[in-house]
Structure 1
Amino acid sequence: MRWMAGRLVLLLALVVQCWGTVAAAAEPAYLFGVVPQFERRQLFAVWQPVLDEVAKRAGIGFEMTTALSVREFEQDLSNGRFDFVFTNPFHILQERRRSGYIPLVRGAAPLKGVLVVPADSPVSSPQELKGKVLAVPTPNALGASIMMQADLDRLFGVRVKLRDVNTHASVFLHVANRLVDAGGSVQKVLGEQKPEIRDRVRVIYTTRGMPSHPVAAHPRVPQEVRERVRRAFLDLATTPEGAAMLDKLPMNPISAAAMADYAVMEEWGLDKYWDVEGKLK
C-alpha cells in the first residue's frame, strides 16, 4: 500500500507539473516593438532585461522586436503590428484614430530637444542657421526634428535643410566632426554621450518640455493584461535594480500615462512638420 501511495503522489506531482507547463505555454507572447532610437545591439542590451522582468511580474510573455529604420517602424505601427510599443509620443497621436494605441507608462521627466553646433563653431544663435544643414536622427523624431523645426521656423524665422543620419548618436558624431552645420537631438541622449563626443559639441537652443515617450498597448490587448503590464513597470521602478535598468532606457523616474498627457501637443500645430511620405523637407 505504501508503494502504491508513493506512486500516486508521484503521478499527481507529474500531472501538476505538466499542467503548469501547458498553462504557461498557453499564455500568449505579446509582440513588443521598440522604436530604433539606438543601434540595434544597444537597443536589445538595455531593453531585453527590462522586458524580461516586466513579463515575469505581469505573468505574460514578451517577444521584443524593432526595425532597421524608423520609417519601417512607423509603417509597422500604422499597421497595428505591435501588441505593445515604446515610441515617439507624436506617433501615438498620429495613430490614435487608426491603430488606437493606449499609453500605459512614460518617463516622468519632460522631453526637451537640443540644438547643437560644433564646440568651436562661430554660430551662437539659431538665427545664424538659416539655410544650413541640420542633422536629425529621423525626420519624425519629436524633440530632435519636429519640435526643433517648429521652433526654428516660428520663433526665429529660420528654415533648415534636414539630413537624416538614422540615430541620435550619429547626430552628435556628425556635428562633432563638422560634417553638418548643426544637429537636433534631446537632452537625455546628449547626457549619455561619451565625454570625447559631448565636449566637442555646444548647445545653442533648447525647446520647451513635452511629455516623454510612452509604453503603449494596442486595443486588442485585454484591459486586464494592459493593467498588469502598467503595474509591473511601476513596481519595477520601486526596486534599486529595477530603477537602474529603467535609467538606461531612459525612463526613470517613471509614471502612469494617458492619452490626455499628450493632448496639449495637438494645439502646437506640429502636423506641418510631420514627414508623412518619408521624404526630407
Structure 2
Amino acid sequence: MKKLIVIAFFSILALSSNAEVYRVGVVPQFEAQRISLIWQPILNLLNAETGHEFRLEQSDSIPEFEKAFLRGDFDIAYMNPWHAVMAYESQQYRPILRDQSRKLRGILVVKKDGPIRSLEQLNGKSIAFPAPNALGASLLMRAELTREHGVNFTPRYVGTHSSAYLNVALGSAAAGGGVMRTLDEQSLALRNRLRILYQTQPVNPHPLVVHPRVPEELVNSLLRVFLTGSAAEKLATLLEQVPIRDAVESSIDDYLRLQDLGLRDFYVN
C-alpha cells in the first residue's frame, strides 16, 4: 500500500513538473521587490481562477526587458505603449487589456523658484531623463521638444524618475522628464521644489499583451477573470497598484498611431 502511495505521489510531481508555465514579464519601472509585491498577488489569483500557472520573470533593466520581449521570451507582459508597438512588429504580441480611465502624458519639470519659464530657455541646457526609451518621460518628450519646439538640449539618462526630479531640484539639470504618477509619489518636500513646465500629447496607457503562442481559449479565460468573473472585483483592487484603475479589453489598434509620431528616430538600442 505504501509503495502505491509513493508511486502516486511521484506521478503527481511528474505531471506538475511537465505542466506548461506561462512566463509573465513586467517593464521594470520600479525596483524588483516592489514589482513582485504588486504583481505576485495578481498572478496568484490568476493561477487559482484559471488552473494555469503564471510565473513572474523580472528583468534587471528596461533594456534587458526590451531584449527579452523582442526575442519572444514572455508569454504575457505588461509594457509601455511604444514597447507594445515594437512587440507587435517583432513577435506579433497583441494588447488584450488596458486602463480606460486615464491617458499617459510625459511631463517636464523645472525648479519652482528657478528662472526657466519657457521651453526656449532650455536651448543649450542639460535635461535629465530616467532612461532613453521610457515613453512619456523620455521618448515622446524628446521627440516633441526637438521636432515641435526646436529645443536643442543635452539629454542625461539618470536611471529613474526620482533621480530625474532630484537632479532638477539640486540644480544638476535645467529640467527633467517624468510622468504625473511618479511625480505624485515623490516626497512633499521634493514636489514643492518643482514646477511642471510642459506636458506631451496624451496616448493610451501601458497594456497587458500576449504572445501568439498563448492559446486563444486561455486569452478569453483571462479576459473573463479580469472583467466579468467572480474574482473581477478583487482583481480590480489589486490592479489599482499597477496602476490599471478601470480595466477594459484592448487591441493593437489602440497603439498603432504611435507609429506615425516618428519615435524611431529617438529610440536608443
Q: TM-score, normalising length from structure 1?
A: 0.85
Tell me, in whole angstroms, the C-alpha distance in 2 between the residues paired with 1:228 and 1:18.
30
Tell me, in whole angstroms, the C-alpha distance in 1 between the residues paired with 2:12 and 2:60.
37
Q: Match for 1:52 among 17, 20, 44?
A: 44
Tell me, in whole angstroms, the C-alpha distance in 1 between the residues paired with 2:36 and 2:159.
17
Could you say which structure has the larger radius of gyration? 1
Gaps of 5+ in 2: none
Q: Match for 2:175 among 161, 174, 182?
A: 182
**Is 1:264 paired with 2:257?**
yes
Alignment of 1:65-76 (within 5 A): 65-76=57-68
- CA-to-partner distance for each residue in 1:190-247, whole Å, 9 max, x for gaps? 22223222222211111111011111011111111122223323348842x4333212
Q: In 2 relative to 1, CA 234–170 (structure 1 residues): closer, same or farther, beyond 3 Å?
A: farther
Q: In 2 relative to 1, CA 24–56 (structure 1 residues): closer, same or farther, beyond 3 Å?
A: farther
Q: Match for 2:145 among 148, 152, 157?
A: 152
The alpha-carbon deviation at position 154 of structure 1 amounts to: 2.3
- CA-to-partner distance for each residue in 1:121-140, whole Å, 9 max, x for gaps? 21112221112222212101
Q: Match for 1:41 among 33, 39, 42?
A: 33
The number of residue pairs the alignment matches comes to 264
Q: Match for 2:213 among 208, 211, 220?
A: 220
Q: In 2 relative to 1, CA 197–100 (structure 1 residues): closer, same or farther, beyond 3 Å?
A: same
Q: Structure 1 vs Structure 2: percent identity of aligned residues?
A: 35
Q: 1:117 maps to what in 2?
A: 110
Tell me, in whole angstroms, the C-alpha distance in 2 between the residues paired with 1:230 and 1:20.
29
Q: 2:70 maps to what in 1?
A: 78
Partner SS state of residue 89, structure 2: coil
- Supply the RMSD in Å over aligned alpha carbons: 2.5
Contact 1:171 1:185 in 2 (8 A): yes
**Is 1:246 paired with 2:239?**
yes
Q: 1:3 maps to what in 2?
A: none
Contact 1:135 1:171 in 2 (8 A): yes
The alpha-carbon deviation at position 34 of structure 1 amounts to: 0.6
Contact 1:39 1:167 in 2 (8 A): no
Which stretch shifts more, 103-112 or 152-161?
Answer: 152-161
Contact 1:149 1:159 in 2 (8 A): no
Q: 1:233 maps to what in 2?
A: 226
Letter in 2 for 1:252: R
Tell me, in whole angstroms, the C-alpha distance in 1 between the residues paired with 2:245 and 2:25.
19
The alpha-carbon deviation at position 95 of structure 1 amounts to: 3.0
Gaps of 5+ in 1: 1-6
Q: 1:196 maps to what in 2?
A: 189
Q: In 2 relative to 1, CA 165–18 (structure 1 residues): closer, same or farther, beyond 3 Å?
A: same
Tell me, in whole angstroms, the C-alpha distance in 1 between the residues paired with 2:163 and 2:44.
29
Q: In 2 relative to 1, CA 168–26 (structure 1 residues): closer, same or farther, beyond 3 Å?
A: same
- CA-to-partner distance for each residue in 1:169-207, whole Å, 9 max, x for gaps? 222222223222111111222222232222222111111
